[in-house]
């Protein structure tokens, strides 16, 4: 069977194939017309670029080892942008998609990419409202996402205060473990099929934590009713570049320090069958792409949020004065470790 390639159908032919993935009447002009944010809310805009061989690995475009199907690449691209909206406390309105493609990419690959995107977006009632395509020597996916948030409920990196508890909304290290399993087929022989699939799915199909936003909104509104003078200030970001990166970035933006209890960082239970405790912790801190939220908020509100979330959510430390972020082991087994941005992934 001969694959139909992009160079066979051209730009207009591809646009016709992709239009069904968008709501009727939204695309077809020079821009999308979407409803403005609800009264009193602010518009939140975020852009993310995923490049073949850097953020995902597909055999088209010269990548030697494929770890990501087109559907998974589409899901991850959508999830990364929805996670950025969640990190701002925003609810999604829609996304635009920019595709850079080689002419030798099969048309079916692009259609499967969009199927993966819509599978993720449909779970959060988020439409594709436009985009662009161009010829390129490498496959890249550039997404701009639009969301809305009430100004007093926006989550920023600058709001952490001394004494705040540091919350993670789920486990860390699962995505890096899943990638290792994909890269090394003989790795993880002691895992059950269910454990193996769970870790691989964490890498290929991460879930943006938009569910957390509704819980935080309820807490803010409740506190407003209880006291007109009390404001719940929340600082945070997502952990897509690693847990250590998120904590250090928040502290740097807020002009504070932090102490993290290494024993309270939640890891996937199956990691103990794969690697040592030290390696698992390193994956959690620096592996990245777990797409959980890291939030700094008053202790009582933090404990209430963790109780509501369950499933790996935990208070892992506190905000301190100064400007250093320390990882400490309360058992005394391991030496204290100063966390920095130098060890995690950097593009340049």
Q: What is the pLDDT of residues 267-300, one digit of tens each?
A: 999 999 999 999 999 999 999 999 999 999 999 8
Out of 10-14, 19-23, 223-227, pick the least confident. Answer: 223-227
Q: What is the DSSP pairing of strand 293-297 with strand 165-168?
A: antiparallel
pLDDT of residue 340: 87
The two three-digit tokens of residue 202, written as one number: 């964490």
DSSP code of residue 37: P
Burial class for 139, CB neighbours closer than 10 Å (0-12, 13-18, 19+): buried
DSSP, collapsed to helix, strand or coil, labels residue 236 as strand
pLDDT of residue 160: 96
pLDDT of residue 272: 93
More confident residue, 311 or 74: 74
Alpha-carbon separation of residue 56 from 85, 86, 182, 282 (angstroms): 21, 22, 12, 21
pLDDT digits (tens, 9 = 90+) for 229-270: 556 779 999 999 999 999 999 999 999 999 999 999 999 999
Residues in the chain: 348
pTM here is: 0.90
pLDDT of residue 65: 56
Distance in angstroms (rounded) separating the CA atoms of residues 171 and 157 = 21
More confident residue, 137 or 226: 137
Distance in angstroms (rounded) separating the CA atoms of residues 157 and 286 = 19
pLDDT digits (tens, 9 = 90+) for 167-187: 999 999 999 999 999 888 889
234: nearest Cα among 304, 281, 289, 145? 304
Domains of the chain: 33-151 (3.30.1330.10), 155-343 (3.90.650.10)
DSSP of 111-160: HHHHHHHHHHHHTTT--EEEEEEEE-SS-EEEEEEEEEE-GGG--BTT--
DSSP code of residue 271: G
pLDDT of residue 85: 97
The two three-digit tokens of residue 130, written as one number: 């436009």
Out of 2-11, 81-90, 316-325, pick the least confident. Answer: 2-11
pLDDT digits (tens, 9 = 90+) for 37-78: 888 999 999 998 888 876 566 554 444 456 778 999 999 999
Q: How many other CB atoms are there within 10 angstroms of residue 4's CB atom?
A: 13
Strands ordered across the beta sheet of 91-101: 42-51, 140-149, 91-101, 128-135
Give the position of tokens 């430390």.
317
pLDDT digits (tens, 9 = 90+) for 182-234: 888 889 888 999 999 999 999 999 999 999 998 988 877 776 666 655 567 79
pLDDT of residue 145: 96
């Amino acid at each position: 069977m001969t694959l139909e390639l992009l160079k066979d159908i051209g730009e207009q032919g591809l646009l016709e194939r992709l239009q069904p993935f968008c709501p009727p009447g939204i695309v077809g002009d020079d821009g999308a017309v979407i409803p403005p944010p609800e009264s009193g809310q602010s518009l939140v805009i975020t852009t993310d670029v995923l490049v073949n061989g850097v953020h995902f690995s597909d055999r088209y475009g010269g990548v030697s080892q494929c770890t990501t199907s087109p559907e998974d690449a589409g899901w991850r691209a959508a999830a990364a942008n929805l996670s950025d909206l969640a990190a701002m406390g925003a609810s999604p309105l829609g996304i635009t998609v920019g595709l850079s493609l080689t002419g030798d990419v099969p048309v079916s690959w692009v259609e499967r990419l969009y199927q993966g995107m819509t599978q993720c977006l449909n779970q959060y009632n988020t439409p594709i409202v436009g985009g662009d395509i161009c010829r390129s020597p490498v496959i890249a996916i550039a997404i701009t996402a639009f969301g809305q948030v009430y100004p007093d409920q926006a989550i920023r990196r600058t709001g952490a205060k001394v004494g705040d508890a540091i919350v993670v909304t789920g486990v860390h290290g699962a995505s890096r473990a899943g990638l290792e399993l994909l890269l090394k087929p003989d790795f993880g022989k002691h895992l059950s099929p269910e454990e193996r699939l769970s870790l691989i799915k964490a890498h290929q199909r991460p879930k943006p934590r938009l569910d957390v936003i509704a819980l935080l909104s309820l807490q803010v509104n409740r506190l407003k009713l209880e006291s007109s003078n009390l404001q719940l200030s929340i600082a945070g970001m997502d952990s897509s570049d690693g847990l250590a990166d998120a904590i250090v970035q928040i502290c740097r933006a807020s002009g504070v320090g932090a102490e993290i209890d290494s024993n309270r960082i939640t890891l996937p239970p199956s990691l103990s069958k794969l690697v040592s405790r030290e390696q698992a912790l390193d994956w959690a801190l620096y592996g990245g792409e777990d797409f959980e939220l890291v939030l700094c908020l008053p202790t009582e509100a933090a404990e209430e949020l963790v109780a509501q979330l369950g499933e790996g959510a935990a208070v892992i430390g506190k905000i301190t004065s100064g400007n250093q972020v320390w990882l400490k082991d309360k058992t005394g087994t391991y030496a204290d470790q100063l966390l920095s941005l130098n060890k995690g992934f950097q593009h340049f």
